[in-house]
């Protein structure tokens, strides 16, 4: 569901934030649709759950979720 580049120069949490933001703005993620669980996303991407939680927290602070 989420496309990130682990070896890129952009932090993973920022990539996740950007990607989810784009999905929300484009309408691919509908209003009141649940995001995948933090642990599920972390496991599928092979990243620390704290990284995903950070991206979700920024989305919440920005009022996107």
User: CB within 8 A of 7, min separation 6: which ones?
Assistant: none
Q: Is 45 in contact with 2 (CB distance < 8 Å)?
A: yes
pLDDT of 37: 95
CA–CA distance, 32 with 5 (Å, rounded to integer): 28
pLDDT per position as a tens digit, 2-52: 778 877 789 999 999 999 999 999 999 988 899 999 999 999 999 999 999
């Amino acid at each position: 569901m989420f496309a990130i580049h682990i070896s890129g120069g952009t932090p993973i949490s920022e990539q996740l934030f950007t990607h989810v933001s784009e999905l929300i703005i484009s309408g691919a993620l509908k209003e009141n649709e649940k995001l995948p669980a933090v642990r599920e996303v972390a496991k599928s991407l092979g990243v620390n759950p704290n990284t995903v939680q950070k991206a979700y927290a920024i989305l919440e602070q920005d009022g996107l979720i």
